[in-house]
Structure 1
Amino acid sequence: MKLRPRPLVAAMLAVLAMSVPANELPDLGDSAVGDLPLHEERRIADEASREIRRSGDVLDDPEVDDYLQRLGYKLVAASNDNRINFRFFPIRDGDINAWAIPGGVIGINAGLIVLSQHESELAAVMAHEIAHITQHHYARMLESQKGSGWLSLGTLALAILAASRSTDSEAPMAAMAASEGFQAQRYLAFSRDFEREADRAGMQTLQAAGFDMRAMPSFFDRMQKYYRNVDNGAFAFLRTHPVTGERISDSEARAAKQAYKQWPDSADFLLVREKLRTLQLGAQAAVDYYRGTTEQRKYASEAAQQYGYASALLSAGRTDEAWRHLEAARKALAGGHPMLESLAGAIRLRQERYDEATAIFAQARARFPSAWALGYGEIDVMLRRGRPREAVTLLEAALAERGSDAALHKRLAEAYEQLGQPGLAHRAQAEYYALRDELTAAIEQLNVARRSGGDFYQMSAIEARIKELRARMPDDRKGKRSEPAK
C-alpha cells in the first residue's frame, strides 16, 4: 500500500495496513481493549480510509465494490458484533493478500479473489479478517507491548513488510536486526496465537452465514503451496498471514465436527472473479487464456467463462467477437444478470451504437434496480454522445437517492463542464473530493467556483460549504494544501 499516514498514527498504520496478522491470545480481558476504545478505533479507521483512497490502490469498479460490500456485511451480520461500521476495499494488487485495520477497515486484494476456487474460500478469508477486528487483536497486541514504545513496533512492521514483499532473503533479517530480538520473538508468538483465534472465530462466522467451513483449510492449503512456490518457504513465518501445517490441521479438525453443507457459488462471485482475472492478466493475455480454456472446456461455469472472454475481447478492442461471447454468456445464465447487461451496454457504447446502448442500460435498470453500475452506464452514454442536459436529469434523480455517491458527483461535474457552466462544475467536483475525504482539494474547487461568479444565494452557499469543510479538517491540516485525488 502506498499509504502516507499522519505522524500520530504512522506506526499504527505501518503495522496494520501492511497486514499485521492476528490470532488467538490468552484472554486479556476488558483492560486490554481499554487501551484502544471504540471511538479511537473509529478515528484510526477514518484516517486509514482516507489514506487508502489517496494511495491510488483501491480498484474503482462499482460492480466489484458492491459485491464485496454485500458479501462482507452478510458475514458481519453473522459475527454477532454490529457495533463496528465495516468498510471493505477492493485492492487492485495481484498479490494474494487481505488485511484489517481497527475500526472495521478491510482490504481484499484482487489476486486473492482470482485465486479463490469457490465463494466459500473468499468468504473464509473475509471472515478471518473480520475476526481480527471483532476480537480486538490490535488492542490486545498493544497491551502486550506496554512500555516498549512505538519505534520497535514500527521497525517490526518494516520487517513484516519486507518479508511479505521482498524476494531478497536477507531483507527481513536486516530489518529484524534493527529491533530487539526478544521483543520481535514475543510479538511473533502472539501473532500466531492471534491467527489461530481469528481462524476459530472466522469459522464460526462462516458457518452462521451458511458457507462451507471446509473452505478455510482448503484455502490455507492452497496459500501454503503458493508461498512455497514463490520463495521455497523462506521466512514464511514473517509473512502477514503465516500459514502452517498446524493451522491447517486445526481448522480441518474443527470443520470435520460439523455436518457437511455445500454452498453453491453465486453468479455474482463467478462473474466478479472473471472480471478481475481479465484486469489482472491484461487484454491480450486474457484473450489467450480464455481461448485456451474455452477450446478445452476447462471451466466450471460456462456463463462466467464466456463473460470473462467477452470482457477480455472488449478490452482488446474486438467488439464484434466480444458481443458473440456475451450472447453465449446470456444464453448460459438463465434469468440474466446485471453484470452481463452492463457489459452489453459497454460493448455497444464502444461501437458508438448509442441508441442500443441507452436501451440496454435503461431496460436493465428496470430489471435490476439495485445495480448502480447500470445507472452509471446510462449516464456515460449521454455524456459520450454530447447530451449533458439529459445526463444532468439522470444524475439529479440518482443523487436524490444516493447523495453521498462520489462517482455521481464526478459525472455531474463533467456534465456541467459540457454545458459551459464552470461554477456548477467546480462545485460538483468539490463534492466529489469531499466524499473522498480530500477536504483541501474540495475547498480549492469551491474557491475556483466562487471566482466564477454567481448570485448572492450561490455565493452564500459556497461560503457556507467552505466553512463546513474547514470544520471537518483536522487541526494540523487546516490551511495546508494537499494533492487532489486522481
Structure 2
Amino acid sequence: MPPLFSRFKKLTLTLSLAASFSLIAASAHSMTSDNELPDLGASALGTLSIEKERRLGHIIYDQLRGQTAILQDPLIIEYLNDLGNKLVAKSEDVNFPFTFFGVNNNQINAFAFYGGFIGVHTGLIAKADNESQLASVLAHEIAHVTQRHLARGKEAANNRAPLTLAGIVGSILLAAINPQLVMASMMATSAGTQQAMINYTRGNEQEADNIGMNILANAGYDPYASAEFFAKLQEQIRYKADIPAFLITHPLPESRVTDARLRAMQFEKKFYADSLEFMLVKARINARYVRSEYDKIKDLTNLIDKSSGNKKFALQYELLLRLVDDEQFDKAFELWESLVKVAPNNLYLLDTYSDLAIAAKKPELALEALSKAYKIKPNNYVVTMNYANVALEAKMPDRAIELLEYYLLNKPRDLLATQMLVDAYKDSKNMAKYNITKGELFALMARYNEAITFLDRALAMLGKNDNAEINRIQALKYQYRERQQYIKDIKGTI
C-alpha cells in the first residue's frame, strides 16, 4: 500500500477525465443525501426552491467528483471547510450547509454552484499573498450562493431559452477543468442561456463584492484584501496574454477595483496575521501540487535560514515534504524529529510521519503515534485516514476495516474512506464485502452501471445465510436503477 498522499493522488488521477463536448452532453447523475431524486422537470420552471437548489448541487457535485481532479487530501479538505465555515458563520441568508472542496488546477480560480458547493483551485491558494486574500475570494463566492445569484440567473435564462441539466453541469464542469473553454462552449451552443449560469452580471458581482467584504471583516479578516487581490489579477492581465481563470467568470472593470478600495476605507487599517494552518496548507500545495518558485531543496534551505517564527516552521514543513517525496529518508526523519519537538500534536506533521514511515518501509513506527492521536481525536478525518492507511501497510486490514467502517457511519459519502475500505476488504480476502463496497464507491461517482456490476458479483458469492446482506444489495440495485431511469427520463428543463 502507498503512503496516504500517493493513495489519494492516484484516486484523483483515476477520476480525472479530459473535458470533451461529449462529456458535457453526458447525462448528469444524482446521489442525494436523503436518497430522493429532485423534481427537475417542467414543474420546476419557476423560481428554484431552496430544497431543489440543494439537491441540484448534489447532482453537480457527484458529476464533478467522477470527472474532475477534485482533491481527496484530508488536510486541505479540513482547512478549506474550517475557513469557509468560519466565513459562513458570519453570513446572512444561509439556507443550507456549505461544502468546500479543492480542485487540483494551477490557475487562480474559485467557483460556486447550487446548494452551497464552492470549489477552490490549488493555484488560488498557492498564489494568495495572505490568508485574507484567500478568504476574500471565498466570502465573495459565499455571497453569490446566499444571494441565490445562480437561482435568479436560472429564472432569467428560462425566460429566454430553456436550461438543460446537462448544459448546466457541462458549463460548471468546464469552469472547474479549464475556464477558458467556457467561452468556446457558450459560442458553440445555444449558450446565451449557459452564459447566464456561469457569467454573473455586473449587478451580481457588485452585490457579492459588497456582502463578501462585510462577511470578510465580520469573520476577522482584512477587508482591504479584496482590493489587493483584484490588483494582483490586474497585474496578470497587464503582463500576460492569458486572462486569469477567475476573471472569465468574474469580470473585473477598473471601477470594481476602485469600489473595493473605497468600501474598505470604512474599516480600520491594521495588521492581520496569517494562521499557521494557512501557511502549512500553502506549503503543502507548493511541495506537492503546484511546486513553488523554490524548486531546488538548496534554495528552500537558504530561505529557511532567513526566516523565523511560523513562516520558518511552514517552510521547514515544505522541506520535509520534499525530502520524503525525494526519498531522502534519513534527512526527513531528522527534520521531523526537530519539528515535532516544537509542535508535538500537529496533524500536518503526523500525516507526514505516516507517509515517511510507509515510504521508508517502516509502517510500524507510525502505529503508536496514530493510536495515541486517535484516542485524543477519535474519528478525526486526518487521523483516521492515516491510521487506516498505516494499518493496511502493516498488514492489519481488520484494524483498518474497523476504523473505516466506524468513520463511514458518520460520513457515508466520503470517497477516500470508501476507496480505502475497498482495499482493506481485498487485503482481508473478504471478496463479497470488497465487491459491495466497490459498487458503493462507483455509486458515489454516479457511475451506476459499474456499481451494479460489482453488486451482482457480490450476490454470486453470498449464500442462504446471508439474507440480510442480499436484501440490502437488492435494495441498492433498485435505487441505482431508479436513478439511472430517472436521469434518462429527464428531457425537460430545469
Q: TM-score, normalised by structure 1?
A: 0.80
Distance (whole Å) between structure 2 residues aligned to residue 401 and residue 186 of structure 1: 37
Matched, 1:256 2:256: no
Describe how 1:234-253 pairs up with structure 2 within 5 A.
239-253=248-262
1:101 to 1:348, Cα distance in 2 relative to 1, 3 A: same
Q: Which residue of 1 aligns with 2:227?
A: 217
With over 3 angstroms needed to count, the CA separation of the structure-2 counterparts of 1:260 and 1:463, relative to structure 1, is same
Q: 1:364 aligns with which of 355, 373, 388?
A: 373
Q: What's the offset of the Cα at 1:369?
A: 4.3
Deviation at 1:93, TM superposition (A): 0.6
> Corresponding residue for 2:39?
none
Q: Residues of 1 paired with 2:249 and 2:408: CA distance?
A: 40
Q: CA deviation at 1:177?
A: 9.1
Q: Is contact 1:84-1:104 (8 Å) kept?
A: yes
Amino acid at match of 2:180: R
The reply on whether 1:266 has 2:278 as its aligned counterpart is no
Paired residues of 1:306 and 1:326 also in contact (CA < 8 A): no
Q: Could you tell me how far 1:427 is from its partner in structure 2?
A: 1.9
Is 1:324 matched up with 2:334? yes
Write the distance in 2 (CA, Å) between the matches of 1:206 and 1:88.
Answer: 16
* Residue of structure 1 aligned with 2:359, choices 322, 345, 350: 350
SS of 1:341's equivalent in the other structure is helix
**Partner in structure 1 of residue 118 of structure 2:** 106
Q: Evaluate the alpha carbon distance shift between residue 79 and residue 5 of structure 1 in structure 2; reply closer, same or farther with a 3 A threshold.
A: farther
- Cα distance in 2 for partners of 1:206, 1:323 equals 40
User: Quick check: 2:28–2:63 contact (8 Å CA) kept in 1?
Assistant: no
Mapped to 1, the partners of 2:246 and 2:96 lie a distance apart of 30
Contact 2:24 2:171 in 1 (8 A): no
For the structure 1 residues 418 and 195, does the alpha-carbon distance in structure 2 shift closer, same or farther, using more than 3 Å as the test?
Answer: same
Deviates further, 471-480 or 79-88: 471-480
Residue 338 of structure 1, CA deviation: 1.0
Unaligned runs of 5+ in 2: 1-17, 30-44, 489-494
Aligned pair count reads: 450
Residue equivalent to 2:400:
391
Structure 2 residue matching 1:78: 3-state secondary structure: coil
Q: Does 1:464 align with 2:469?
A: no
Change in CA separation of 1:157 and 1:348 when aligned onto 2, cut-off 3 Å: closer
Identify the residue that residue 201 of structure 1 maps to in structure 2.
Answer: 211
Q: Could you tell me which residue of structure 1 aligns to residue 33 of structure 2?
A: none
State the alpha-carbon separation in 2 of the partners of residues 297 and 194 from structure 1.
Answer: 42
Q: CA deviation at 1:9?
A: 7.1
Q: Could you give the per-residue CA deviations for residues 227-264 of structure 1, whole angstroms, max 9, x where no partner exists?
A: 3333176x999722222321121111111112235432
Q: Which secondary structure does the structure 2 equivalent of 1:239 belong to?
A: helix
Name the structure, 1 or 2, with higher relative contact order (CA <8 Å, separation 6+). Answer: 2
Structure 1 residues 409 and 359, CA, compared in 2 at 3 Å: closer, same or farther?
same
Backbone CA RMSD of aligned residues: 3.9
C-alpha contact 1:98 1:125 (8 A) present in aligned 2: yes
Pick aligned residue for 1:165 from 176, 180, 190: 180
Distance 1:245 1:469 in 2: 55
The one-character-per-residue Cα deviations of 1:261-310 (angstroms, maximum 9, x if unpaired) are 54322222111111111122459936465245335549961111000111
User: Pick from 419, 435, 453: which aligns with 1:426?
Assistant: 435
Q: How far apart are the structure 2 equivalents of 1:109 and 1:80? A: 25
- Structure 2 counterpart of 1:74, from 86, 90, 94: 86
* 1:65 Cα deviation after fit: 0.8
Which residue of structure 2 lines up, in the alignment, with residue 315 of structure 1? 325
1:45 aligns with 2:53: no
**Residue aligned with 1:48, SS:** helix
Cα distance 1:251–1:450, how it changes in 2: closer, same or farther (>3 A)? same
Distance in 2 (alpha carbons) for counterparts of 1:317 and 1:227? 39
User: Which of 97, 120, 133 matches 1:121?
Assistant: 133
Q: Tell me the secondary structure at the aligned position of residue 285 of structure 1.
A: coil
What is the match of residue 348 of structure 2?
Answer: 339
Structure 1 stretches lacking a partner, 5+ long: 11-32, 481-486
Q: 1:301 to 1:190 in 2, by over 3 A?
A: closer
The offset of 1:422, in angstroms, is: 0.8
Query: Is residue 2:109 matched to residue 1:92?
Result: no
1:412 aligned onto 2:427: no
Contact residue 388 and residue 404 of structure 2 kept, 8 A: yes
Counterpart amino acid of residue 191 in structure 1: T
Closer, same or farther: CA 282–146 of 1 in aligned 2, 3 Å:
closer
Q: Quote the offset at 1:209 in angstroms.
A: 1.6
Tell me, yes or no, if the aligned pair for 1:344 and 1:360 is still in contact at 8 Å. no
1:231 and 2:241 correspond: yes
**Cα pair 1:277 1:286 within 8 Å, conserved:** no
Match among 457, 461, 479 for residue 452 of structure 1: 461
In the aligned structure 1, how far is the partner of 2:304 from the partner of 2:464? 62
Distance 1:471 1:55, change over 3 A: same
Secondary structure of 1:231's counterpart equals coil
Q: Relative to 1, partners in 2 of residues 1:129 and 1:355: Cα closer, same or farther, differing over 3 Å?
A: same
| CA separation of 1:226 and 1:127: change in aligned 2, threshold 3 A | same
Give the superposition deviation at 1:94. Answer: 0.8
Note the C-alpha offset of 1:395. Answer: 3.4
**Counterpart-to-counterpart distance in 2, 1:44 and 1:390:** 37
Q: Do 1:163 and 1:238's aligned partners in 2 also have CA atoms closer than 8 Å?
A: no
2:471 maps to amino acid: E
Amino acid at match of 1:355: E
In 2: Cα distance, 1:172 partner to 1:403 partner: 37
Say if 2:156 is the partner of 1:141.
no
Matched, 1:64 2:76: yes
TM-score with structure 2 length normalisation?
Answer: 0.79
Of the structure 1 ranges 198-207 and 415-424, higher mean CA displacement relative to structure 2 is found in 415-424
Change (3 A) 1:189 1:338: closer
CA contact (8 A) 1:409 1:432 kept: yes
Q: Is the 8 A contact 1:304 1:329 kept in 2?
A: no
